[in-house]
Amino acid sequence: MLRNMLLFVSLTAMLIFAVTTVLAYEVPDKVLIERPKGNQKLNSWVAPVSFPHGFHAIRLACRDCHHKETDKTLGKYVPCRQCHTDDDPTAESGFYRAWHSPGPPSCLGCHTQMRSEGGKNPVGCTTACHKPK
Ligand code: HEC
Ligand code: HEC
Ligand code: HEC
């Protein structure tokens, strides 16, 4: 009995180890996207965005959005905010353009493009993303 239990425990430990080494990265289900500290609000109604990340990750390829990942860095997913910090809304790698530039991988860019192809993707500023608190 005790031997069986020990065997069970060590097999479980081996399984957990195998799973965690294969899944070297995690895929968060929800991500709250907030402006970096000191970054100017462009409009009074701008609120943090609750992003259904898992919902997207099962429908799209990781690299559709994580555009700086290469085969070498794949598995070390870094937040967009690590690079997209600039306060200037016209800066190419600024905070604003990461989410709003006209094409993917920006949120609005991808949604607008898919809308034009008949998708149902939400595009309203306050109805889709910046929901008032
Ligand atoms: C629709 C675009 C999109 C897709 C598809 C996507 N992600 Fe993300 N991911 C994001 C955004 C946006 C964030 C939040 C970045 C931020 O907060 O600056 C994020 C955050 C993450 C984070 C957290 C980074 C951190 O340390 O905060 C991980 C890990 C991650 N994604 C992995 C994945 C993996 C793995 C896949 C594919 C299975 C994937 N993502 C697919 C857009 C996407
Ligand atoms: C390692 C740094 C880095 C990370 C991480 C990163 N980006 Fe970028 N991104 C850049 C740079 C630099 C540019 C400028 C053009 C280029 O080099 O591709 C850019 C350009 C863009 C553009 C085009 C902007 C425009 O108006 O032309 C979008 C949209 C974008 N990134 C979205 C994202 C999103 C969304 C994420 C996270 C899922 C992300 N980026 C993660 C560095 C990064
Ligand atoms: C590369 C394309 C792409 C990007 C980038 C993208 N989305 Fe989406 N988004 C989708 C698709 C596809 C759907 C599902 C549309 C449908 O069901 O017809 C969706 C749906 C949604 C929904 C509705 C979810 C639901 O439950 O119906 C929200 C909210 C959303 N996206 C927010 C965001 C935010 C915030 C970002 C940026 C951080 C983002 N999306 C970036 C493709 C994208």
pLDDT of residue 71: 75
pLDDT of residue 69: 84
Model pTM score: 0.89
- Ligand 2 centroid to Cα of residue 32, in Å, is 18
- Ligand 2 centroid to Cα of residue 44, in Å, is 26
Ligand lying closest to the C-alpha of residue 114 = 3
> Of 26, 34, 49, 65, which is best to mutate to test ligand 1, by the most ligand atoms within 8 angstroms of its C-beta?
65
pLDDT of residue 117: 96
pLDDT of residue 17: 53
Q: Which of 21, 42, 52, 29 is nearest to 121 (CA)?
A: 52
Mean pLDDT by 10 residues, the chain (133 residues): 61 54 73 91 91 96 90 78 93 95 95 95 94 82
Atom of ligand 2 nearest to the CA of 100: 29
Residue 118: count other Cβ atoms within 10 Å of its Cβ: 6
Pick 27-129's CATH classification: 3.40.1390.10, 3.90.10.10, 3.10.580.10, 3.20.20.70.
3.90.10.10
The domain segmentation of the chain, as residue ranges, is 27-129
**Residue 38 CB-density burial (10 A; 0-12 exposed, 13-18 middle, 19+ buried):** exposed
